[in-house]
Amino acid sequence: MRLISKRKIKLYLYYIKNCWKLIFPLRCRETIVVLGMHRSGTSVVAGLLDAAGVSMGKFKQRASKYNKKGYYENILFQKLNIEVLIRSRRSSESRLPDFEKLEKEKKKYRKKAKNLVRIEQEASWGWKDPRTSLLMDMYYRFLVNTKIVICNRDSDDVARSLSRRENMSQKQAREICDFYKNEINKIKKKYKCPMLEINFDDHKKDKDGVVDSIIDFIDISVDETSRDNMINFFDQKLVTSSRRN
């Protein structure tokens, strides 16, 4: 008999407890979606939003040697995104989706995306999973008062970091990086919602600048204590550690 992990039991209970939101979703002031290529600073931004009081999800991906302060990645969105992208791959060896397959899968998973958004939605909430950069239109129509934060970092640095972590060639890593950037550029042109771009190559020595730009962007009153917590969280190691790993 296969044992069910404690975390899976907690997830099941969470869905049962919150299923009423499918019929009566909570009122929402803002939905903040963090986009960007893997290894581009999305975990930093999600952590800062969490410290500011934005609900970034109850179930998050655990920390690892590559990200010791945590990924702040909502595993419910992560799981759904991975499922869609695996079914959309160009081939079993490819890490990139085929556009035609992807469009078909997004239509199939639209109801699941809607239900997930309704269950997770709160007054001020959001999520971070870099894969959402390829799936934004699967969610967008179901979001309320959407705001998007886009994380940028030098493509060569991202490719080197990704190739080390995923044990792939830098050429393959750069191809993935370029694919994500192209999809994010489409999002910037397609949607008219408020967007904040954070370039960590420009701001890597300016913690206050990044923190204050986020505070100004969100619809939450952040007191001095919360701001100090954000500054303390924004440790330079979060941005640069990938260059050492």
Sign of the dihedral defined by the CA atoms of residues 158, 186, 209, 207, in that order: negative
| Mean model confidence pLDDT for the chain | 88
Q: Give the whole-angstrom CA distance, residue 106 versus residue 88.
A: 9
Residue 134 has pLDDT above 50, yes or no: yes
User: What's the average model confidence in pLDDT over 52-69?
Assistant: 77
| Burial state string for 54-63 with b = 16 or more CB within 10 A and e = fewer than 16 | bbbbebbbee
- Longest Cα–Cα distance of the chain, Å, equals 54
Q: Does residue 241 surpass a pLDDT of 60?
A: no
Q: Which residues of 67-76 are buried (b: 16+ CB within 10 A; e: fewer)?
A: beebbbbbbb
DSSP annotation of 125: E
- Is 11 domain-assigned? no
- CATH code of the domain containing 173: 3.40.50.300
User: 202 lies in a domain?
Assistant: yes
- Residue pLDDT, tens place only, 63-106: 666 666 777 899 999 999 999 999 999 887 788 899 999 999 99
- Whether residue 23 lies inside any domain: the answer is no
- Beta carbons of 218 and 194 less than 8 angstroms apart: no
Compute the distance between CA of residue 72 and CA of residue 45 in angstroms, rounded to an integer. Answer: 9
Inter-helix orientation angle 207-217/224-233, to 10°? 130
Q: How many CB atoms lie within 10 A of CB 27?
A: 9
CA angle 99, 71, 181 (to 5 degrees): 35
Distance in angstroms (rounded) separating the CA atoms of residues 159 and 168:
10
Total domains, the chain: 1
Percent of the chain at pLDDT > 90 equals 59
| C-beta neighbour count of 179 within 10 angstroms | 16
Per the structure, the complete domain to which residue 209 belongs is given by 30-244
Q: Is residue 225 part of a domain?
A: yes
Residue 19 is assigned to a structural domain of this protein: no
- Say whether pLDDT at 126 is over 90: yes
Q: What is the pLDDT of residue 1?
A: 44
Q: Answer whether residue 158 is part of any domain.
A: yes
Asked whether the predicted pLDDT for residue 125 surpasses 90, the reply is: yes
